[in-house]
Amino acid sequence: MKNFTSVNDVPNIEKLVQDALNAKANPLKMNDLGKGKTMGLLFFNPSLRTRLSTHKAALNLGMSVMTMDMDKHGWKLEFEDGAVMNANTAEHIREGAAVISQYCDIIGIRTFPTLTDRKQDYSEHILNQFMQYATVPIVSLESATRHPLQSLTDLITIREHQKTERPKVVLSWAPHPKALPQAVANSFLEWMIAANMEVSVTHPEGYELSPEFAQNVPIEYNQKKAFEGADFIYTKNWSSYNDYGKILAQNSNWMITPDKMAVTNEAYFMHCLPVRRNVVVADAVIDSKQSLVIQQANNRTYAAQAVLKNILT
Ligand code: AN0
Ligand code: CP
């Protein structure tokens, strides 16, 4: 594997899941693999899990780690070719990516969408320019349209808990006070399709995801009906794709509550975190024994470890 930016970079996803489960069973087994190598972690946006779990994964493989908050400590980067840089941007991506590549053997990048310019966001403007001008492998730590390390984690967690060959997995939209990216939802569908899950999605009208990711995944606009017989409820808020980056209405009745979970097949509750309690999900659900959110976050380390291992070997 050269880069890790979407499910399309993975030759065999079940093997990657197995690598992650092996890493979980014996985290330090490959402690020598990354000796003398450096992982660079570049953040244009905040992070708790991705930052710490990817750092931990690199340490478990014997790598050194350098982290930079690009938005706070880096020079403001220019991404346009031919730009006359006489305003706010101080350094061009051409030099920036080339220079960082000399210090790091693998570069991880987190870059959220603008949520104002759909064309630019869905072209993965920033991630693609890093890939173009960096000379080392790139790992997405969540880009404008995808969060593949999260989706791999989600798949591992489902594989650990599924009771049937092809579980019923429901991606449910839930309310949120701020406009959020579609990345986690897009990526989740992409990986669930690749893993051949029985996946469906439920959201209010107007929150249809990009056709590139929605594919032919069934949509049920009645949330409670969608939950019937589900084995996994995967919850996430996203802003509108069609009315790009907008919150269309409050929809507070879409919060995940015990009465909705009651119609499922004793489904597990999943969320990538961070989550706003009693807005996205009721305390009684996230604190229930069916909630996997903490185990999911634990699996972030082993997902990252499996990805780094495959890039290093
Ligand atoms: C981000 C998002 O929705 O993409 C990161 C999730 C991992 N969430 C927030 O900004 C709350
Ligand atoms: N789930 C996730 O990516 O969390 P962070 O934004 O804290 O990294």
In this prediction, residues 58-74 reach a mean pLDDT of 97
* Spatial distance between the Cα atoms of 178 and 11, rounded to a whole number of angstroms: 36
184 in contact with ligand 1, CB cutoff 6 A: yes
* 110-148 residue pLDDT tens: 999 999 999 999 999 999 999 999 999 999 999 999 999
pLDDT digits (tens, 9 = 90+) for 272-309: 999 999 999 999 999 999 999 999 999 999 999 999 99
Q: Output the CA 84–ligand 1 centroid distance in Å.
A: 33
User: What token pair was written down for 91?
Assistant: 């350094």
pLDDT tens string 184-211: 999 999 999 999 999 999 999 999 999 9
The residue whose CA is least distant from atom 3 of ligand 2 is: 50
Q: How confident is the model at residue 58 (pLDDT cuts 50, 70, 90)?
A: very high
Question: Nearest CA to 15 among 281, 257, 313?
Answer: 313
Ligand (nearest to CA of 178): 1
Asked whether 177 lines ligand 1 (CB < 6 A), one says no
Distance CA 244, CA 181 (A): 10
Sorted by where each starts, the structural domains of the chain and their CATH numbers stand as: 7-146+300-312 (3.40.50.1370), 150-297 (3.40.50.1370)
Please give the model's pTM, rounded to 2 decimal places. 0.98
70 vs 74: CA distance, rounded Å: 4
The finding on whether 293 has its CB within 6 A of some atom of ligand 1 is no
